[in-house]
A and B are shown apart, each in its own frame.
Chain A
Amino acid sequence: MTTRIGIEVSIAVADAVQLCNADVVAAYPITPQTHIVEHLAELVANGELDAEYIPVESEHSAMSACLGSAATGARTFTATSSQGLVLMDEVLFVASGMRLPIVMAVANRALSSPLSIWGDHSDVMSVRDTGWIQIFVENGQQAVDNTICAFRIAEDNRVLLPTMIHLDGFNLTHVIEPIIMPEESEVAKFLPPNKFPLPLNPDKPVAMGSFAAPGIFIEAKWAQEQNMKASKKVIMEVWNEFYKAFGRQYLPVEKYKSDGAKVLILTMGSFSETASVAVDELIDEGKDVGQVRLRLWRPFPFDEFRQAVKDADVLVVLDRAVSVGGPAGPVASEVKSALYNLAKKPKVVSFIAGLGGRDITVKGFKDIITKGIEIARTGSKNEYEIYGVRE
Chain B
Amino acid sequence: MVKENTLIEIRWHGRGGQGAVTSAEMLAQAAIAEGKYAQAFPSFGPERRGAPVQAFNRVDTREPVRIRADIVEPDIVVVLDPSLLSIVNVTSGLKKGGKVIVNTKKTVKQIKAEFKINFQVATVDATKIAKETLGVAIVNTTMLGAVLRATGVIKKESTHAPLQKRFGKLGDRNIKTMEIAYDQVSIEEQ
| Contact surface of A with B, Cβ cutoff 8 Å | 4-8, 32, 117-119, 139, 168, 170-172, 174-178, 270-271, 273-274, 276-277, 284, 357, 359-362
Q: Looking at the complex, which one of A8, A175, A176 makes contact with B68 (CB distance below 8 Å)?
A: A175
Given the complex of chains A and B, what is the CA–CA distance between A174 and B72 in angstroms? 18
Chain A residues near B39 (CB, 8 Å)?
A: 175-177
Can you name 13 extra interface pairs (CB under 8 A) apart from A32-B44, A174-B41, A284-B2? A4-B32, A5-B32, A6-B30, A6-B33, A168-B68, A176-B24, A176-B29, A176-B41, A177-B28, A177-B39, A274-B68, A361-B67, A362-B67
CB closest residue in chain A, given B33 = A6
B21 to chain A, nearest CB (A): 9
Q: Looking at the complex, which one of B30, B68, B162 makes contact with A273 (CB distance below 8 Å)?
A: B68
Q: Name B's interface SS.
A: mixed
Which of B28, B38, B67, B69 has most chain A Cβ within 10 Å? B69
Given the complex of chains A and B, what is the CA–CA distance between A139 and B67 in angstroms? 11
Q: Any chain A CB within 8 A of the CB of B40?
A: yes
- A171 near B68 with CB under 8 A, answer yes
- A6 near B68 with CB under 8 A, answer no
Chain B residues near A5 (CB, 8 Å)?
A: 29, 32-33
Q: How many residues of B contact A (CB 8 A)?
A: 27
B7 to chain A, nearest CB (A): 10
Given the complex of chains A and B, what is the CA–CA distance between A144 and B164 in angstroms? 25
Q: Looking at the complex, which one of B2, B33, B41, B46 makes contact with A175 (CB distance below 8 Å)?
A: B41
A267 to chain B, nearest CB (A): 12
Chain A residues near B68 (CB, 8 Å)?
A: 168, 171-172, 175, 270-271, 273-274
Given the complex of chains A and B, what is the CA–CA distance between A5 and B34 in angstroms? 10
B11 to chain A, nearest CB (A): 14
Chain B residues near A171 (CB, 8 Å)?
A: 44, 68
- B44 near A170 with CB under 8 A, answer yes
Q: Any chain A CB within 8 A of the CB of B31?
A: yes
Q: Which residues of B, 64-109, contact A by the 8 Å Cβ criterion? A: 64-70, 72
Given the complex of chains A and B, what is the CA–CA distance between A197 and B45 in angstroms? 44
CB closest residue in chain B, given A276 = B66
B103 to chain A, nearest CB (A): 22
Chain A residues near B9 (CB, 8 Å)?
A: none
**If the complex has contacts A6-B38, A118-B45, A170-B44, are A178 and B70 also in contact, measured as CB distance less than 8 A?**
no
